[in-house]
Chain A
Amino acid sequence: MDFKFTEDEEAFRRKVHQWLKHEIPQRWTELDPGIWEETEESWALAREFQRKLGQKGWIAPAYPKEYGGLELSHMKRLILSEELAYNRTPMSIEEEITVNWVGPSIMLFGTEKQKKEYLTRIARGDVIFCLGYSEPNAGSDLASLQTRAVEVGDEYVINGQKTWCSYGHLADYCWLAARTDPDAPRHEGISIFIVDMKTPGITVRPLINILNRHSFNEVFFDDVHIPRENLVGQKNKGWYQLVIALDLERSSIGYAAGNQRIIEELIKYVKETTRNGEPLANDCLTRNELAQLVVENEVARMMAYRIAWMFSKGLHPSYESSMSMVFVSEVMRRTANAGMRILGHYGELDRDSKWSVMNSRIMRMCLSSLSIGVGGGSNEIQRNIIAIRGLGLPRR
């Protein structure tokens, strides 16, 4: 056993860190968009920055070199993800989805043509996909989705409604799950498509999230014609592709690293703040609370490290990823809550308010952390996975 990074890995971390320090635009730091807080301006800044990151090969470092990747080791990818998140790199959550779900799915199931067309552009930071999975009646039970895709000549015609489609109003393509055989058993009639968001017949309607921002959308498909070649993988086998994609490297390391930054900021805050004539850092309740956060976050980090390590050994984590996602999501919620307790009344203040502290990150996190543990497979569903797949408990 050895928890040390190699000298080469440490050097890589320093290199990434330095580069980010110099390159992250001032304006981004001013806007400071937390998760689900993108605006058109921050989105544009992130796009621009991602292209720079793409030039270094750091968007999709795992991809084969012929598609713009670096074939970087798992440990270096872990380090890179940590640094990107810790340094609040200009990027949106859709970046992650595009690079870690869409790209690998295309690699596994796509045609040569699709690989050529999309993978390099993804790795360069030129295209972003939104995810067209959820529907009003298909949330956790995704296999009950009803959006239809009908093959007509060399086209598919799509009709139906998607919901919660994050950044559908800004993304270039939609990674769409639709029903291609309504008569087959539910899992047997689903296919995956790539849909250009500019295709006629698509209407994107904003949903305003709890942070009062426009991040997700309802997306209506009204006789949307797409080329038949935009089918990814086998017709009617989409469900299986989709499940495999859900199991692809889903790392919680970014969340742990981002949370670490918040905890460090809280620590800085209590050191600089006096309460009742004493540094807040001397208050034993506050110390206790912060120590607990540090402990929990370290546990979360080690759970994420374990996933990377398993990959590096050629193992395929499944329920282990669920464990690490559930755990980190709950640590983030507890961090937000502990932060609120430590900041007290100041924790309530929104960012453009007089007297607000820590750029009101805690207050925003208090809201945004509600989504971690719901979106992308709720914590209950993840716990079901842990129980059934991990512990072998019976399904019914």
Chain B
Amino acid sequence: MDLGLSEEQEMLKKSARDFLQRECPKKLVRQLDESDEGYSSELWRKMAELGWMGLAFPEEYGGSGRNFLDLAILLEEMGYNIVPGPFFSTVVLGGLTILTAGNEEQKMRFLPKIARGEMILSLALTEPTASYDAASVNTKAIARNGEYVIKGTKLFVLNANVADYILCVARTRKTKDPEDGITVFLVDARSPGLKCTLLKTLARDKQCEVVFDDVTVLEKSIVGKRDEGWPIVKAILQKAAVAKCAEMVGGAQAALDRAVNYAKERVQFGRPIGSFQAIQHYCANMAMDVGGSRFVTYKAAWRVSEDLPAALDAAIAKAWVSEAYGRVALSAHQIFGAIGFTMDHDIHLYYRQAKAAEIIFGGADFHRAIVARELGL
């Protein structure tokens, strides 16, 4: 057993941290949070030049041939710095799905472009029920002369406002089994009938309502097999949950680092507040939460990376990290006192990130239910 990072991974981590510190300062983060697009095309281009988008794609598709664990380490650094933009939706939700479930033509068509930073993807899965189960997929895709016509409303779709293509999860058949009859389509975001509205959220991330009003797609835009899309979605959700945990671990680490630094500097009653036992205990609890989160996440990421069954470990990680990051962010706020309650200070960016990350791809309750199921309860 070896829980350490390889030399290559250490390098990736360090170079990512340096790069993001330089190229994605908090001033930019705020600007992007406030903008409608939510990403910087310049930063996007530079990230692509570093090979980040294609990190986990094989070389034949323009990638660097590294694995999911490496991607998780990169995401951890992105979470540490906070990098607004469609990286997660493009690479994790879009790219990895096409890589694992797409056909050769789709891979050749999309992956190199994603790797070069020339294409943004998004996944339209959740609907007004806001949950991640098969029964909630009610958007219909009806076959008509070799084409499909999609109709329905998708909600909380990440970065759809800037996406070139949207992976749309739709129902092509209704039987007693809600997992049967689901199909994944690659839809051109400029298709007639497709309308995207930005939602205003706590984290100021760019979640959208996407309405498919009789959007026509060709048969060849199906990813995987018709009616057999649910296993694909399940696999995306599992990877996404783990990838999100990695991002959260980074964010939690950053919140801890900032709080500890502040506790060392801020003087009240003639001594640094970090010398008060109350604050020390907060910091100790935060450190435990961050450490615990990191290793359950790495374990799940490693299993995904090695193609081992990961349902249980992914659910354990998301159940734990969702709540742990929330606790860390809250304690950080407590340590910062009033200054943390301002828009100008950076710590709220982490609190917001923690909240959004907790919810997306299912919160702790959702994943505890999976844990119970996986244990045969």
Chain A residues at the B interface, C-beta cutoff of 8 Å: 134, 137, 139-141, 144, 163-164, 207-210, 212, 216, 274-277, 285, 333, 337, 340-341, 344-356, 363, 366-367, 370-371, 373-375, 378-380, 383-384
Interface residues of B in 315-369 (CB under 8 A from A): 326, 330, 333-334, 337-338, 340-344, 348, 351, 355-356, 358-360, 363-365, 369
Interface residues of B in 181-211 (CB under 8 A from A): 197, 199-203, 207, 209
Indicate whether A340 sits within 8 Å of B359 (C-beta atoms), given known contacts A144-B268, A207-B342, A345-B126. yes
Q: Which of A141, A351, A354, A375 contacts B197 (CB 8 A)?
A: A354
Q: Which of B133, B268, B278 contacts A141 (CB 8 A)?
A: B268
Q: Provide the bound-state CA to CA distance between A163 and B200, in Å.
A: 30
Question: Of all chain B residues, which has the CB nearest A368?
Answer: B341
Indicate whether A345 sits within 8 Å of B359 (C-beta atoms), given known contacts A370-B341, A374-B337. yes
Indicate whether A349 sits within 8 Å of B201 (C-beta atoms), given known contacts A276-B131, A341-B365, A374-B334. yes
**Dominant secondary structure at the A interface:** mixed
Q: Provide the bound-state CA to CA distance between A355 and B127, in Å.
A: 12
B295 touches A (CB below 8 Å): no
Top-7 shortest CB links A-B: A353-B200, A350-B200, A141-B268, A380-B278, A208-B343, A345-B130, A348-B201
Q: Which residues of A contact B156 (CB under 8 A)?
A: 345, 348
B155 touches A (CB below 8 Å): yes
Tell me the minimal C-beta distance from A83 to chain B in angstroms: 29
B40 touches A (CB below 8 Å): no
Q: Which residues of B contact A350 (CB under 8 A)?
A: 200-202
Q: Which residues of A contact B129 (CB under 8 A)?
A: 274-276
Q: Which residues of B contact A344 (CB under 8 A)?
A: 130-131, 359, 363
Q: Which of B130, B342, B343 contacts A346 (CB 8 A)?
A: B130
* Contact bitstring B122-148, A, C-beta under 8 A = 1, else 0: 000010111101011000000000000
Whether A333 lies near B330 (C-beta < 8 A) is yes
Q: Provide the bound-state CA to CA distance between A366 and B364, in Å.
A: 17
Tell me the minimal C-beta distance from B337 to chain A in angstroms: 5
Q: Which of A164, A354, A371 contacts B209 (CB 8 A)?
A: A354
Indicate whether A378 sits within 8 Å of B363 (C-beta atoms), given known contacts A141-B268, A210-B343, A350-B202. no
Tell me the minimal C-beta distance from A234 to chain B in angstroms: 25
Q: Which of A355, A366, A367 contacts B155 (CB 8 A)?
A: A355
Tell me the minimal C-beta distance from B199 to chain A in angstroms: 5
Q: Which residues of B contact A349 (CB under 8 A)?
A: 199-202
Q: Provide the bound-state CA to CA distance between A354 and B356, in Å.
A: 17
Q: Which residues of B contact A378 (CB under 8 A)?
A: 334, 337
Known: A345-B126, A374-B334. 8 other contacts (CB 8 A): A139-B337, A144-B270, A352-B200, A366-B202, A370-B333, A380-B276, A380-B278, A384-B278
Q: Which of A164, A275, A285, A383 contacts B338 (CB 8 A)?
A: A164
Q: Provide the bound-state CA to CA distance between A141 and B276, in Å.
A: 13
Q: Which residues of B contact A164 (CB under 8 A)?
A: 338
Tell me the minimal C-beta distance from B115 to chain A in angstroms: 30
B279 touches A (CB below 8 Å): yes
B284 touches A (CB below 8 Å): no
Q: Provide the bound-state CA to CA distance between A144 and B348, in Å.
A: 28
